Amino acid sequence: MAPGWTAASAGSNPSTQVDSKAMEILRQHGLAMSTPEPRGFQELPPLEWDYVVGMGCGDKCPSNLRAKRFIQWDIPDPEDGPKDLYQALYDDLEGRIKNLIQEFSR
């Protein structure tokens, strides 16, 4: 993550636990979750975010979050898929996030 950035994750219909395969992929890349339990949009801090990225939430995407820019990424839910699908999604998201950081840093 870029210095000075705050990232948060939340969902429209959070599960009761974080997917173990997702956590394993994150650990393999040296990333740790500061909050290892799923949370809903209403649990995010009341900030004005620079970006809010929806990832497949469609009409359930948060409309009450304040953001300078809303982006929609069509990302499939890997739930119960093979581990290589999780890795492929990680790679895709890593590239998108790097591009977003570069765009914002200009």
Asked whether the beta carbons of 23 and 33 are under 8 A apart, the reply is: yes
Does residue 90 surpass a pLDDT of 90?
yes
Alpha helix (H) residue ranges in the chain: 20-28, 83-105
DSSP letter for 11, please.
Answer: B
Whether the CB-CB separation of 10 and 39 falls below 8 Å is answered with yes
Dump pLDDT digits (tens) for 31-80.
Answer: 877 767 888 888 888 889 888 898 877 777 766 788 898 888 988 888 88
Q: Which phi and psi angles does 22 have, rounded to 5°?
A: -65, -45
Distance of CA 92 to the CA centre of its chain: 12
